[in-house]
Amino acid sequence: MTRDALSAAVALFDGHPSAAKWHVRIRRLLSRLEDVEALVPASGNILEVGSGHGLVSLYLALAAPGRTVLGVDIDAPKVEEARRAGTVDGRVRFEVGDALALPHASFDAVVIVDVLYLLDEPGQAAVLEGVRRVLKPGGRLVWKAQDQSPAWKYRLTKTQEWITTTIGLTAGRSLTFLPRARALELMTLAGFKDAAAHPMKGRIYTDVIYTGTA
Ligand SMILES: C[S@@+](CC[C@H](N)C(=O)[O-])C[C@H]1O[C@@H](n2cnc3c(N)ncnc32)[C@H](O)[C@@H]1O
């Protein structure tokens, strides 16, 4: 049986040290990345901001042969791990970089998955402005984040992320989950048209995917 693209991306880490191998397996189980992939254009030059171990970038490329993906992350060891996982026929590459200083290039889409809560609100606003600048006119932002409601799910979301940042699994400067209305407002202020929220139903977290057009 042919493996689906997400399983194939996870399998790229099979020979990696256990920490990375299990990290991507857990990301796959907890993050419902298929919902993100479905909102990303099927072709074009894509930037993933905060690509971590590289699972999302590799998955996006494996899911559609017309995509080329650049993943950037502030954490150099994670970028090394991502590079070890491969390039999907030269269509994926990874660089160390800060979301607040994006590469000088233009992209058809920018994908951000579970990253911006690690920056304070002005930082998130600055990243959104930078993302809009590196997108081609008509390019798409796909941004997975967490809302503040319902309250019990928000408590769970916040506690889990507090643990991962405290024990050092995730590098970040803050723990700032924006209410949905504020996230959409920041997108509009950054110059995005058609800012929209796609709540991820049936989750124990307050996950939501925002999309917008540059
Ligand atoms: C929870 S992980 C998500 C990784 C990946 N997007 C995924 O879904 O598997 C958050 C990532 O954001 C990265 N990060 C935090 N602050 C960053 C910044 N200012 N610029 C770039 N990456 C950052 C962390 O190093 C970490 O890899």
DSSP track, 183-198? HHHHHHHTT-EEEEEE
Gap between the Cα atoms of 54 and 79, Å rounded: 7
* 5-26 average pLDDT score: 95
Record the tokens describing residue 93, joined without a space. Answer: 């590459």
The pLDDT score that the predictor gives to residue 198 is: 96
Q: What is the pLDDT of residues 29-38, one digit of tens each?
A: 989 999 999 9
Higher pLDDT: 82 or 173? It is 82
- Answer whether residue 204 shows pLDDT above 60: yes
Residues 6+ apart with CB under 8 A from 125: 186, 189, 190
**175 Cα distance to chain centroid:** 16
* 163-181 average pLDDT score: 79
Task: Indicate the pTM of the whole model.
Answer: 0.93
Evaluate whether 103 touches 47 at the Cβ level (below 8 Å).
yes
Mutation test of ligand 1: which of 26, 96, 115 has the most ligand atoms closer than 8 Å to its C-beta?
115
The pLDDT score that the predictor gives to residue 157 is: 82
Map out the domains of the chain as residue ranges: 5-213
pLDDT band at 2 (very low <50, low <70, confident <90, very high): very low
pLDDT band at 70 (very low <50, low <70, confident <90, very high): very high
Report residues whose beta carbon is within 6 angstroms of any ligand 1 atom: 27, 31, 50-52, 55-56, 73-75, 78, 98-100, 113-115, 118, 170-172
The closest-lying atom of ligand 1 relative to the alpha carbon of residue 123 is 19
Evaluate whether 143 touches 197 at the Cβ level (below 8 Å).
no
Q: What is the pLDDT of residues 99-136, one digit of tens each?
A: 999 988 899 999 999 999 999 999 999 999 999 999 99
Mutation test of ligand 1: which of 22, 40, 74, 174 has the most ligand atoms closer than 8 Å to its C-beta?
74
Gap between the Cα atoms of 33 and 42, Å rounded: 15
**Average pLDDT of the chain?**
93
Q: What is the pLDDT of residues 128-156, one digit of tens each?
A: 999 999 999 999 999 999 999 888 888 88
How many other C-beta atoms can be found within 10 angstroms of the C-beta atom of residue 4? 13
Burial class (CB in 10 A: 0-12, 13-18, 19+), 123: middle
- Answer whether residue 3 shows pLDDT above 70: no
CA of 18 to the centre of ligand 1 (A): 20
**CATH number given to 5-213:** 3.40.50.150
Mutation test of ligand 1: which of 83, 118, 131, 169 has the most ligand atoms closer than 8 Å to its C-beta?
118
